[in-house]
Every structure is written in structure tokens, then in C-alpha cells.
Structure 1
Amino acid sequence: MTDGLKSKFERVMIIDDSIPDLYISSRMITKNNFAKQVLEYSSPKEALIYLKENQESTELLPEIIIVDIYMPLMSGFEFLEEYNKLSTVLQKYSKVFIISSTIDDSDIIRARNYPNVVSFQVKPITREFLNRIQND
């Protein structure tokens, strides 16, 4: 993290079953002073537990949620279905961004059709992607 600069966000959540991708994304976020805290989850189910437990407490919620599409046991799409059932407090507070290594147009269109998804990003997370989020 860059000393003396204020982070744009308090908390960002990353959900990705790939441990190397999770690490790289987290480092990119901290290195670019994007968030003070990164909540890392390799399991969408565990991330949902955290969100459910804290859905009414904005001081504990991530302002940004970055979720991969293709994961075992629960895909990013299944995560979004469950996320859509959570409180409106959470859904208004947290912005969801999809990341994936897919270049399949049908996946990109499907991800963008979810009402809570702000945008889609092909992996890896880049400084430019973070800047776009920051400037929204």
C-alpha cells in the first residue's frame, strides 16, 4: 500500500477458487491502495455466510465484491442467485463485479444480465480495471 494515500474503499471481497488468482487480485488491490481490507474467499458458500451474517451492518460489508464465474461446488452464477436473495441494504451498499478467464460471449452476456452486476472483467484484475471502478 502506498503510504500517505487514502484508500478509495474500506473493504473489498474477492471470491475465486484459484488460490494464485486470489493472491494476485489481493496484491493488486493493496498495492494500488484500492482498499484498506481485502476479504479473500476461495469458496462462494463461505463468502455468502459472511454476507448473510453481516447484511444489515454496512460497517462490516464490502463496498466491492469481485467474483469469479467458474468455481467448483458453487459457480459465480449460483452465487449471484443467492446474493439476490439477501437484504436490499447489502445489495445497495455492495457493488458486484464479475471476473473470469472466459471469453465466451454467452457467459459475458449472462453475467451482465444480473441486476446486481456492475461489469465483467477478463482475468487478471488490472490497474485499469480498478481505476474504472474507482472513478464510477
Structure 2
Amino acid sequence: MTKTVDPKFETVMIIDDNSVDLYITSRMISKNNFGKHLLLFTSGEEALKYLLEHQHNTSLLPQVIFVDIYMPLMSGFEFLDAFDKLDDTLKNHIKTYVISSTIDNADIIRSSRNENVSAFHVKPITKEFLDQII
């Protein structure tokens, strides 16, 4: 008999303006049974709007957010600044991870200094990276 394993997280949000990266990240999450439901956004504004609309219903909120740094209109860092202004209950429910193709040390340091960022990872995400997330 085959045993079905529940996904690690109920809901995972991915914010990335690059459709190829969005697809690759979502496939890695699905393939590795990391998230049951995926919320895919191509802009930080759309993602922030979703969080604000559902902030009082934790069953609709993600437990994990993967956000890219370099996006038009609202960068990942601007998203994180706006995220920081959200209610503490919401912020405590969600772990955020910066995923980026940058190798710029300034970006990596800036990410690591943000109290809302659990970790920085260079794209693409890997099974090993997902396995480290608790």
C-alpha cells in the first residue's frame, strides 16, 4: 500500500515577475511536496493586496513567501518594506525568503539584515533548500 505524504506547508506564495522563474519555482515546490496550494504573483503590489485582503483569515494566508528582488514597479525590497508595516500576527504567521539571481554582496547583506527575511537563496531553488525550511 502506498502512503500519501501531506505537503510540508498548506500554502506557499511566490512573487516573481519572470514567468520562467515563476514556473520553475512552482514546479520545484509541487514536485517536492513542499506546498499544497500555490499563490503565484508577478508583482509585489498584487501579492501585498492579497495579503491585506486576507489578513484576518489565516487559512487563506501563505506560511511561506518566496520573493524575487528585482521586479519593476515594486522591487522585492520595497515589498519587504511594505510587508514590515503589516500586523505582527500576520508577519508571525509567514516566513519570507528572498530568491534572486543576483550575486551582488550588497543585496545578500541587505536581505540578511531584514528581520522579516528568513534566508536568501540564489535561483533556482533546490530540493536541498526546500528541505532546510521548517
Please tell me the TM-score bracket, short chain as reference.
Answer: over 0.9
State the distance in 2 between where 1:112 and 1:96 align.
11
Q: Which amino acid aligns with 2:94?
A: S
Structure 2: tracts of 5 or more residues without a match: none
2:123 corresponds in structure 1 to 123
Report 1:1-136 matches (<5 A). 4-133=4-133, 136=134
Runs of 4+ in 1 over 4 A off after TM superposition: none
Q: In the alignment, residue 65 of structure 2 is paired with which amino acid?
A: I
Taking structure 2 as the reference length, the TM-score comes to 0.96
Task: Write the distance in 1 (CA, Å) between the matches of 2:73 and 2:99.
Answer: 18
Number of equivalenced pairs: 133
Q: Per-residue CA shift, 1:97-134, capped at 9, x if unaligned? A: 0000001111000011111100000000110110011x
Quote the Cα distance in structure 1 between the aligned partners of 2:22 and 2:32: 16
Identity %: 58
Distance 2:89 2:6 in 1: 25
TM-score by length of 1: 0.95
Partners of 2:112 and 2:38 in 1: CA distance: 24
Q: Is contact 1:14-1:66 (8 Å) kept?
A: yes
Question: Structure 1 stretches of 5 or more lacking a match?
Answer: none
